[in-house]
Structure 1
């Protein structure tokens, strides 16, 4: 008998199935044991449909298509092992309300207040008993709802950040249980958010998408006879106790100004002002249901230390760099103002706030008085490990303060562990940096005045992101915005959504290539070609654009490029001054994305396109070889990045050339003392390149290096996330003097893929993990390593241990997959089926792993101006 272990629709793995946008959502589940599998859908109207399927992945909806608002219970499995979920569509385009606004003119630049909106409605006018009630809501800005004094839902910063000029998401809220007989009250908190708040760097921008802040909310109730009733809402507004708030600046909250019971029916709102109605038809953005899971309060963290400073402030260390806010429980007389200051690091004994640039990151709470008060900022977010409480009343007691971690509520899908504590901590830091930077979209950093969706960062990190967490929903929505912005810009902008804040806006290799690489990595992770079909026009547009920029020669050797950004030899003030030829990088990426697109076209049945893009790839490959590779295999620039790109992207004309380049790569890495000498482009692939060059041991020497620059240097300095620069914190404890210094950037953490795939030895050998490759590469003095991945077909895992010269490998193959185990000692490949398998063979003891050669290394000088 099989057992169903997980059930989801489309890419909402671990997420909500209420308010979906699909009439016929595809069904996926994981099972232990063979099929066939029972599927049952019980409609709300009493109809029951049943069928049996043999597949577990992306099963076409086998029941009648759902209409707007239709729902029921989906069950997979037999009675004994069944899992079930509530499935319900949203309202589609059936909106019959308009936006309502308390503020249509942004009268000044600076953190503005939030607003309270309130509407009453009488259920006594609805004939019959109520079976269910829904509020469909979105906002120009960010919002939070209340019903009869209680909060509705648990989303944070809804509706999230999209390319608001093109699309805006709405949320579906089940409010059935919150209703009472007779008069009810629905209330809303409303603030600027990304819509008209301060966004971006170099001073940033205000009012990017409009000058209004507005709410769109439609309330519907369905009675037991199946009749749906639209409930009209007459809104009024008042000032809120949030007197100023910005995502970067923080939130100022005066509890004395909170109208008690404002969202209950006993409250007298006679003095509230009528809202302005903004016709929905005046706004062109499509209102759609979300694909991404919501941003939520994920967990809380207590401080690991607290100390009273000479200036009277209380300093807190939460032991982990996070994205989120601080929740306080305070007891004080009315009118005491407590300020919460945030920073990622300590410098010279003080909060290191310089890297925050224009992000003030100070929350302020003024007490009402009269007992314990609990405050959690609603409409801001900070990146921090340390905080200081200013003007705290008395001593701090347990439970008075906690950090609230806020990010997209993604399901964790991967785990890694080894006998090396530094590598374990590195992996943990990568996970945390991803969590902190997936706040609705994949951003670069959660703390300073930036926090934008850089395309280059997610392009290099996508395989790692899709391994660590079920990120498909977030990336699906982000790619939609990329396509919109691409069409508007004429090319893929450097970050999505795009905002004009002073950064050069030109086609850029490795950044714009996200349009092709990210959907391809998503397809390879879950085997779903739909993302390729949805993004196909965008993928083609990018490759065609680059091909035109090369004058159809294949050689991209003109225009603006970021190249191997943040090469460690580049000076702090000029992070793009890399030793690697930027046009080598550009042409190599042109080859890569043209090849991917040719494969994509073939998968989608676009045979003419497949041939055309294969020809473009061949032409670009030849151009790369002619321009950047000598006949003997020397590569222009002669840097680890240039050689790694050529090796990993398979750009050599012959095996002899590749072998010669591989030997040179080993020489360069050894001469560099096994310190990192690569930037954004080279770092994610350097260890893979060393393996291709024939030396797993050199990859381990690079991985285990603790001196600056290296992956483990930040670990040795106490880092809990991945830094933007190898030396974001200098050895003397000072922050890097560069203006662009973050302690929470995930891009350089793409090496986590190597930990999973090569150190532990767990990799997909076919799209969607239909076939799993178990190929551990013991070394580096490690006595054991393990990895687990909860794939769309079930759990795949591996653990290897070394006891003397005995190597034991234990693998788990998902029920819907097959696998191949490659024994590292003999090189023998063994086919395996679902289930657990154990292998033992002779391999050198960990004590015999070679040490890194000692060379006369010194830190390279920065590139000359």
Structure 2
């Protein structure tokens, strides 16, 4: 009896130990259970759960299995690494699924149980493993008549299937079906890359879609980015003029034998119901031409065309890196109304990107036209002038057999309002649904305050990102553009990394940046469809700024390793252009769309010298190259570029700074960039910051910055002790300001500060997007300064967390949280009943330095105890108006006297 009791006690003790320390949220290459990886040494990340404060990992063990066989065990590794831990076993095999598990030890002497298994699947690592052939439909088409082709194949399986993986890519976009079921949940595949150099394929587990005996696979192709018109020059067919498919299904049977079903000359082709498909103009779908059952076996395709087999290279094929586009939120109409012009319009309440799904009953040949718009005009009429040449329409022609459902397949729209023409019967809310489309990145950040307008601003920032992170970071989603503008992407990249996990999203796009560089020069849009290869300051710098921001946000050193040559080539391309270390040549966008009042007579808002801006960004990119070289132990480059940076800054001061420290351009952007990038000697910086503040005050606390100055404006003010001015700018409600569009009803970020003017008329329709995320870069300051969540560079990716809230007296509450690879970090401060309360969450296996706004240590309590009596918190000292403490993981609640009225 005693022995049994002892065993039970020991078992309970072990279980309790495990319960106190566990491992979950396993990721491979930043993805949950990915299929079709192209990495030969994938990296593993995991999160550790423990309710004990100050818990950190001291060791880990990973095991990787193929089937039931362990193919690699790390053994017990003494390390606190739990993010991006690389596989180091024997070479992994193509087209193979692996499982992995991890267990950890902590600093409290506890050992976790093995985690639940996660899996990853390796794609086709060698071009020779592609047995499929490129095929295209054999029917004739003309540049004016390009219906979407259908491709199909029937095949028979006589054995029991153990596993099957479909590998698919295309010239153009594809939608694939197996035995009548759609393959996967992705849309707009294979995504957009620099197709002639990099073409992604997707991998799908189709084991459950196959059936004994007869099977059928069907694929529909659309023009997509491959041959739609892109840009404003009526330039289509940029990558080719024929759509094509490459597909193979690798099948493994239960008896161990294998078979491949692939595209070849035996496939059939036909014209689909999609008569027309273009990204900017939309789609025309004639349901009378729909071929019912074409994706199932037994369908009669005797009248179908054959296919042409192409001798296309497969050398550009790569595995998918980022999360593809998926259907996300759905919206029902909030209002259906008739405009003063007599048009029937649906309001979905949110400016979004995607399309409308509709249900309808009507007669054969009834024609419904949906037109899309972001805003209504001053009179309340449907407004589409800002779409420029884009028709942005969906046209549906009814088959006339009962209730029919329509939606587009190979295009998308940026809209809040939809004009409906030709709909038979009454427009009823239940028959219309708006579907948002964007890359399937995990939402990671939250931010709320006691100020409703700031909360709406945060909403607008997030929806600006959702709408424009559609496989590439586009500038806008509605007009005849929708391109991967580099300047917008670099300005917003740090904010983006708070809202969503954009690690893989940018890793993929950055490889296209490198692929499209010419002699190091970075085109203004990536992929480069405009043919403009000249560097523009603040745009080309995406090559250095975005990789560095991803490293800071995610601790992803591999991005820097893989982008280093691109970063260096960009800096060198400027170096070749510069004369006496001064970048004072070439064409530049400058501080794009800055505010310039028409009644400016004193010159205080004069256009910021574009070459002054260029010199600042030249220095910044050089500094980031030095940082990266130091991290990668490239000491010769550190020395060389450090010397170059010194010369760049000296050249800046000779050319653009007076002896007293005044800049030749007395604009907000000039001072912001000079201070943000440390261009001025130390002794001149404080007075430069004062001049910046004087400029702001001369505009009654309004900003005048554009795309390049705005992201850093409040950061510089905070850096030099002007929090109150930063808050005044943030809370400004009149034009130009962040809250002016909010007050005007915006649900996304506008391209221009006054896209809709105070009198409700519009800015120039030639450039007036109402979903354009660049000015949403203020989010970075809101998260890192208002809530105070940041990462130190000695522990990037939030391994070493900083919590340093900057309190604004117009707020009684600010709360933010961020899902990091280690777990959730949160910071909430509130002022109530004469007390200031700061509540913090720090994930396991990280450490934090917390700066509490308080005058003295004695004035602070933590969870009700005097701070000096809390053993889990180390008091470091004072810094300005903060008490500095260090902690490990856990939940902490600090309280002190109300400091918001200081």
TM-score (norm 2): 0.89
Q: Secondary structure at the match of 1:474?
A: helix
Find 1:817's aligned residue among 821, 846, 870: 846
Segment of structure 1 superposing worse, 83-92 or 191-200: 83-92
Report what 1:844 is aligned to. Answer: 899
Q: Partner of 1:344 in structure 2?
A: 374
**1:318 and 2:348 matched:** yes
- Equivalent in 767, 776, 792 of residue 821 of structure 2: 792
1:681 lines up with 2:708 in the alignment: yes
Alignment pair present for 1:598 and 2:623: no
> d(CA) in 1 for partners of 2:889 and 2:763?
50
Matched, 1:112 2:142: no
In 1, the alpha carbon distance for the partners of 2:562 and 2:899 equals 49
User: Are the equivalent residues in 1 in contact too, given 2:354–2:436 (CA < 8 A)?
Assistant: yes
Displacement, 1:349? Answer: 2.2
1:586 CA drift (Å):
0.4
CA displacement at 1:638 relative to structure 2: 1.0
Alignment of 1:35-434 (within 5 A): 35=57, 36-44=59-67, 46-47=69-70, 50=73, 51-53=75-77, 54=79, 55-77=81-103, 82-92=115-125, 93=127, 94-102=129-137, 107-108=142-143, 112-124=146-158, 128-201=159-232, 203-233=233-263, 234-281=266-313, 286-309=316-339, 313-347=343-377, 348-434=379-465
Structure 1 residue 311: Cα displacement: 6.8
Give 1:661 shift: 0.8
Alignment of 1:532 onto 2:555: no
User: SS at 2:797's partner residue?
Assistant: helix
Cα 1:683–1:254 change in 2 (3 A) is same
Q: CA offset at residue 84 of structure 1?
A: 3.2
Q: Matched residue of 1:299: which SS?
A: strand
The answer for the alignment partner of 1:741 in structure 2 is 768
| Alignment correspondent of 1:833 | 888
Separation in 2, partners of 1:511, 1:814: 36
Contact 1:198 1:204 in 2 (8 A): yes
Residues 333 and 106 from structure 1, CA distance in 2 versus in 1: closer, same or farther, beyond 3 angstroms?
closer
Please name the residue that 1:706 is paired with. Answer: 733
Query: Which deviates more from structure 2 when the two are superposed, residues 753-762 or residues 32-41?
Result: 32-41
CA contact (8 A) 2:164 2:205 kept: yes
- Any gaps of 5 or more consecutive residues in structure 1? 850-865
Cα separation, 2, equivalents of 1:681 and 1:459: 9
The Cα of 1:154 is off from its aligned counterpart by 1.1
RMSD: 2.0
SS at match of 1:801: strand
Shift of 1:38: 4.8
Secondary structure, aligned partner of 1:635 = coil
Q: Is the 8 A contact 2:179 2:210 kept in 1?
A: yes
CA distance in 2, matches of 1:536, 1:813: 32
SS in 2 for 1:325: strand
1:780-824 CA-partner distances (Å, limit 9, x unpaired)? 410010111111222111000112542111111121211111122
Alpha-carbon deviation of 1:75? 3.0
Q: Do residues 723 (structure 1) and 750 (structure 2) align?
A: yes
8 Å CA contact 1:563, 1:578 repeated in 2: no
Distance (Å, rounded) in 2 between the aligned partners of 1:103 and 1:579: 57
8 A contact 2:339–2:382 mirrored in 1: no
Does structure 2 conserve the Cα–Cα contact (< 8 Å) formed by 1:7 and 1:29? yes
CA distance in 1, matches of 2:845, 2:499: 21
2:862 paired residue number: none
Partners of 1:660 and 1:311 in 2: CA distance: 57
Give the 3 Å change call, closer, same or farther, for CA 211–630 of structure 1 in structure 2.
Answer: same
Establish whether residue 618 from structure 1 lines up as the match of residue 667 from structure 2: no
Residues 1:677 and 1:380: Cα distance change in structure 2 (over 3 Å): same
Distance (whole Å) between structure 1 residues aligned to residue 340 and residue 726 of structure 2: 47
CA drift of 1:388 comes to 1.6
Q: 1:311 to 1:622 in 2, by over 3 A?
A: closer
Q: Do structure 1's residue 759 and structure 2's residue 786 form an aligned pair?
A: yes
Aligned equivalent of 1:694, options 702, 718, 721 = 721
Q: Which has the higher mean CA deviation after the structures are superposed, 221-230 or 811-820?
A: 221-230
State the secondary structure of the residue aligned to 2:587: coil
Contact 1:113 1:243 in 2 (8 A): yes
1:753-804 deviations in Å (ceiling 9; x for gaps): 1101111111112312111111111114100101111112221110001125
Return 532-541 or 801-810, whichever deviates more: 801-810
Shift in Å, 1:692: 2.4
CA contact (8 A) 2:199 2:317 kept: yes
Q: Which residue of 1 aligns with 2:15?
A: none
C-alpha displacement of 1:85: 2.6
The aligned residue for residue 8 of structure 1 is 27
Equivalent-residue separation in structure 2 for 1:122 and 1:227 (angstroms) = 15
**In 2 relative to 1, CA 490–527 (structure 1 residues): closer, same or farther, beyond 3 Å?**
closer
Superposed CA deviations along residues 677-709 of structure 1, whole A, max 9, x for unmatched, are 001111111111111232100000000001011
Would you say the 8 A contact 2:520–2:572 is kept in 1?
no
Provide closer, same or farther for how the CA distance between residues 660 and 782 of structure 1 changes in structure 2, counting only shifts above 3 A. same
Q: Partner residue of 2:865?
A: none
| Contact in 2 for aligned 1:662/1:692 (Cα 8 Å) | no
> 2:252, 2:799 → 1: CA distance?
43
CA distance in 1, matches of 2:569, 2:598: 35
Instruction: Give, in whole Å, the separation in 2 of the partners of 1:232 and 1:637.
Output: 63
CA deviation vs aligned residue, 1:304-350 (integer Å, no higher than 9, x gap): 11124577653111111111000011122322211111000011322
Aligned to 2:515: 484
Aligned 1:437-476 pairs, distance under 5 A: 437-476=468-507
In the aligned structure 1, how far is the partner of 2:208 from the partner of 2:606? 60
Is the partner of 1:641 in helix, strand or coil?
helix
Give the 3-state SS of the residue equivalent to 2:767 in structure 1: coil
Distance 1:84 1:311 in 2: 61
SS in 1 for 2:259: strand
Looking at structure 1, the residues matched to 408 and 650 of structure 2 have their Cα atoms a distance apart, in angstroms, of 56
Task: Supply the distance in 1 between the matched residues of 2:401 and 2:582 (Cα, whole angstroms).
Answer: 72
Determine if contact 2:139/2:305 at 8 Å carries over to the other structure. Answer: no
Quick one: structure 1 residues 83 and 450, their matched pair in 2 at CA, closer, same or farther if it must change by over 3 Å? farther
How many residues in Structure 1 have an aligned counterpart in Structure 2?
829
Which segments of 5 or more consecutive residues in structure 2 lack a partner in the other structure?
A: 1-19, 51-55, 105-111, 600-604, 856-881
Structure 2 CA distance for aligned equivalents of residues 563 and 313 of structure 1: 41
Partner of residue 515, structure 1: 543
> Does structure 2 conserve the Cα–Cα contact (< 8 Å) formed by 1:662 and 1:694?
no
- Please give the secondary structure, in 1, of the residue aligned with 2:221: strand
- Equivalents in 2 of 1:614, 1:226: separation in Å? 59
Instruction: Summarize deviations over 1:633-666 as a string: whole Å, max 9, x none.
Output: 21221111111111111122123x1111111111
User: Is contact 1:221-1:230 (8 Å) kept?
Assistant: yes
Aligned-pair CA distance for 1:76: 3.6
SS across alignment from 1:708: coil
On the 8 A contact 1:666/1:693 being kept in 2, the answer is no
